[in-house]
Amino acid sequence: MAPVTRFLMISAWCAGLSALSCSLPAQAQDAPASFGGVSDLVCPNAPPAPPKPVPGRPAARVNMSGTQMPSDAELGPLARTTIRPQPLVDAQTLTGFAPGNSEQPRRIAIWGDSHIAGGPFASTLIQSLRDKGLSVAPRLLPPTMGRANVVLPGLRAYCIGSSWTTDIAYTSPSPLDIGPGLANRVVDAGPDSYVWLDVRNPSRQADVRQLQVIYSAPAGATIDYVIDDGAQRTVTLPATNTSQALALGTNGAMSTIKLRVSQGKLVLQGFILDRPQMPDVSFDVFGLPSATVKGWANVNPSSFAQSLHGVSYDGVLLEFGTNEGADPDFDAEKYAAMLERALGNMRQVFPKASCVLVGPPDRGVLRQGKGGTLPLLTYSRVHQRIEQVQRDVGSRFGCAAWSWQDLMGGQGGSYGWAHAQPSLMGHDLIHLSPDGYRLTGRSLAHSLGWSP
């Protein structure tokens, strides 16, 4: 049977399963196409692709009208937009973030909340390195494809079945064994236990030689997989409660891989991408909406280190604080204790990595809902306290602090950014607009020595 025929049979089988769900970038939702003889992924029950942006047309602006912003009279000088360029991170910390090259590749990772999970913040950081002429690609992918508001830079497309559940470190009441993304995906065998990946680069070129599946299988499991529309293969995994790496590959480089658990239960912790030639910079992004630094405080350092399977980092960025600051009665002492546990765990895993703590952006107060009567600077003051705790505790673990709030003009800066044209804030005065995230990414890249 020809590979294309086999692929069509598999696609028809999946399309008939109403319980399946999928998610993938818009460019992979078009009609089936092939490049180098390998078909693009076509997810079952995929929604219509949104219109593609027209080159040269500016992105839609954020309209803040109707959001019950505080009035200009109430804001006074806070309505003025301020952007304060941030200084370079100290030279000793910058060592691990210095751009690499083919002789000395650099390995960088960022963990954080919704600010990096979706939107252009992380991609702007990555682009700043590419603008220097450096090759940049992910080395380790978290298993969070299909999670709401999560973008995985470097993964061209994916499909995932609807039966996957998620164990998340920051919501756990106690420490747990967790993978590099601070989240494990769990699934029992069945027709909707699949995950498909298109690992080609943005130019649609295949440059991944081998993919390692990071997993555990408490009672054993069986996986069926197809590489590049080829023959289906099956691998049986012995029972194990510890993290393992299953290497899957083919002759030459692979474009797509389709996995499905056909027997047992699988705990998926991520994917390692092996390339014949490493990029100048490996840049891995681990973002989860609503995440807090409690995720790092809850990890078991030894099992976390094992789940990396040899992957390490020269530079580590931790971007947390917004969700910790959602409580107007924020307890700085409890937060400091949790941050200390988190950084202690991080240092057990990455004892020599350069470290930067990215503080939370400024947050405003809308005049609606139960919090509508709060003073304008309620959350601004909390975020400043969080940043100060990060600065104090971080220094004991060799971590520099980077002030996002100061970039925005200090306390109350969110109001001025909301009044910018185009607006630099989102409608909730918590998240930023795409323009705001791009500006932040460029500023952080400058502080890390990646751009002028």
**Helix, strand, coil proportions of the chain in percent (round to 5)?**
30, 25, 45
pLDDT per residue as tens digits for the range 100-123: 777 889 999 999 999 999 999 999
Report the mean per-residue pLDDT for the chain: 89
What pLDDT, on a 0 to 100 scale, did the predictor assign at position 28?
42
**pLDDT at residue number 1:** 36
pTM reported for the whole predicted model:
0.89
Backbone torsions φ then ψ of 113, nearest 5 degrees: -105, -150
Percent of the chain whose predicted confidence (pLDDT) is above 70: 87
Residue 254 token pair: 């692979």
Sorted by where each begins, the domain ranges of the chain are 1-27+154-277, 80-139+278-452
DSSP letter at 98 equals S
Strand partners, 39: 34
The tokens for 289 are 């909406």
Contact 157, 22 (CB under 8 A): no
List CB contacts of 192: < 8 A, sequence separation 6 or more.
17, 19, 20, 21, 161, 162, 163
Q: Across residues 73-77, what is the average pLDDT?
A: 96
CA distances from 120 to 75, 115, 201 (A): 29, 9, 18
Which residues, other chains included, contact 60 with Cβ-Cβ below 8 Å and sequence gap of 6+? none
Check if the beta carbon of residue 437 is closer than 8 Å to that of residue 429.
Answer: no
Strands (E), 65-119: 106-112
d(CA 319, CA 40): 34
Q: What is the pLDDT at residue 5?
A: 31
What's the rounded mean pLDDT across residues 135-143?
97
% of the chain surpassing 90 pLDDT: 77
Identify the three-state secondary structure at position 16.
Answer: coil
Least confident of 83-87, 200-204, 368-372: 368-372
Beta-bridged to residue 249, according to DSSP, are 210
pLDDT tens digit string along 198-223?
Answer: 999 988 999 999 999 999 999 999 99
Burial class of 422 by CB neighbour count within 10 A (0 to 12, 13 to 18, 19+): middle
The encoded tokens of residue 240 equal 């194990």
Q: Which residue has the higher pLDDT, 45 or 59?
A: 45
Cis before residue 422, ω within 30 degrees of 0?
yes
Mean pLDDT value of segment 337-343: 98
- In this structure, the strands spanning 354-358 and 399-402 are parallel
Summarize the confidence of residues 162-187 as an average pLDDT. Answer: 96
CATH code assigned to 1-27+154-277: 2.60.120.260
Instruction: Give the pLDDT mean for 29-37.
Output: 54
* Mean pLDDT along residues 66-76: 88
CB atoms within 10 A of CB 244: 18
Task: For residue 17, name the pLDDT band (cuts at 50, 70, 90).
Answer: very low
Q: Are 119 and 285 in contact (CB under 8 A)?
A: no
Quote the pLDDT of residue 2.
34
- The band of 59, judged by pLDDT with boundaries at 50, 70 and 90, is low
pLDDT value for 102 = 73
Give the helix/strand (H/E) hosting 318: strand 315-319
d(Cα 390, Cα 403) in Å, to the nearest integer? 10
Contacts of 366 (CB under 8 A, 6+ apart): 67, 68, 69, 70, 372, 428, 429
80-139+278-452 belongs to CATH 3.40.50.1110: yes
**DSSP 8-class letter at 419:** H
Judged on CB neighbours under 10 Å (0-12, 13-18, 19+), 424 is buried
Cα(340)–Cα(361) distance, integer angstroms? 21
Residues 184/242, Cβ–Cβ less than 8 Å: no
SS3 at position 56: coil
Pull the structure tokens for residue 356.
Answer: 């930067």
pLDDT of amino acid 372: 77
CA atoms of 39 and 101, how far apart (whole Å): 33
User: Residue 21: pLDDT above 50?
Assistant: no
Q: What is the pLDDT of residues 228-270, one digit of tens each?
A: 999 999 999 999 999 999 999 988 899 999 999 999 999 999 9
At 135 the pLDDT is: 94
